[in-house]
Amino acid sequence: MPDEEIVPFLRRLRSVTFFTRDLGFYQSTLCHTRYCLVCLAVGQYEAATFTRRVLRHPALNTRSKRMGKVVRVTHSGLRVWQLHADQEIVLTW
């Protein structure tokens, strides 16, 4: 599926968390109530481990906490754009 088709597809679904290693999706303009975008800025062999860490993080451990967010995941922590927010939130592990 081409990148430009992913966001319209996610908007048709409900309560989806989409994980990607494509950092081009880390934009505040992509925040939407129907989904969460998680951009993994880690190596390909670390993706599964960091996916689990995100899903267990206290700020993101339920679907309702994740919706409306675009998250960038790194070894040092998370950066989060939230719907209707003016600035990024920085979270630690």
CA distance 40 to 32: 19
% of the chain beyond a pLDDT of 70: 100
pTM of the model: 0.93
Could you say which DSSP state residue 22 is in? -
| pLDDT mean across residues, the chain | 95
Computed on alpha carbons and rounded to an integer, the radius of gyration of the chain in Å comes to: 12
How many CB atoms are closer than 10 A to CB 55? 15
CA distance 9 to 11: 5
pLDDT digits (tens, 9 = 90+) for 1-42: 888 899 999 999 989 999 999 999 999 999 999 999 999 999
